[in-house]
Amino acid sequence: MSTDVDAGRRRFLTASVAVVGGVAAVGTAVPFVAAWQPSERARAIGAPIEVDISKIEPGQMVTYKWRGQPVWVVSRTPEILDSLPGLDERLRDPGSTQDQQPAYARNDFRSIKPELLVLIGICTHLGCSPSYIKQDQAPLGAGWPGGFFCPCHGSMFDYAGRVYAGVPAPTNLVVPPHKYLSDTRILVGVDEGST
Ligand code: FES
């Protein structure tokens, strides 16, 4: 008789512990999962940005911010575009063979529209932000065809963000995913062709 009671109590206790354990597991699982949900701020930081390019003058560069990084939009003149093919022999990867741009920017100008260049403004050496230096301007002076110069260790990039040979930066500057919403608006962070 007492053996039956003990066995019944043991089953009850075992079942109770299992249920309590299950409740505890659920109770801890919810906040843990919740902690992995991105906050509104994190969503905003990672979200695409829409930029108005209607006021960019020919030859001018404007900087925007996406995911905490500078995004440059450069309005390239016909003279700038004409100068690009002549630099190929001085560049490390003139044909953009390395994966530093979306497929739709793997072309002679590294862009969707030749006259507008979109780049991440971070040096591919150690992450400094290069300066936009127009043709023949200091500190590179006479003979400099224009482009980007990183003052940290002297890396140079042309007007398509292609890296010169013999400098510390190993690869071309990155072209971020982007698409045109209209002639005057670009969405950075979303690929051309996606809806
Ligand atoms: S970080 Fe740009 S050259 Fe080193």
d(CA 192, CA 12): 63
Architecture category of domain 44-188 in CATH: 3-layer Sandwich (2.102)
Where exactly are the structural domains of the chain? 2-37, 44-188
Give 25 Cα–ligand 1 centroid separation in angstroms: 49
Ligand 1 atom having least distance to the Cα of 168: 3
DSSP letter (8 states) at residue 113: B
The 10s digit of each residue's pLDDT in 126-167 is: 999 999 999 999 999 999 999 999 999 999 999 999 999 999
Residue 195's pLDDT is what?
Answer: 74
Structure-block tokens of residue 190? 């979303």
The 10s digit of each residue's pLDDT in 8-55 is: 555 544 444 444 444 444 444 444 555 555 566 666 678 999 999 999
Ligand 1 pocket by C-beta < 6 Å: which residues? 123, 125-128, 150, 152-155, 168-169
Give 130 Cα–ligand 1 centroid separation in angstroms: 8
Residue 13's pLDDT is what?
Answer: 46
- Residue 80 near residue 159 (C-beta atoms within 8 A): yes
- Residue 174 near residue 95 (C-beta atoms within 8 A): no
d(CA 1, CA 99): 78
Give 53 Cα–ligand 1 centroid separation in angstroms: 28
The 10s digit of each residue's pLDDT in 60-110 is: 999 999 999 999 999 999 999 999 999 999 999 999 999 999 999 999 999
Give 147 Cα–ligand 1 centroid separation in angstroms: 15
> Is pTM, for the whole model, over 0.85?
no
Closest C-alpha to ligand 1, atom 3 = 153
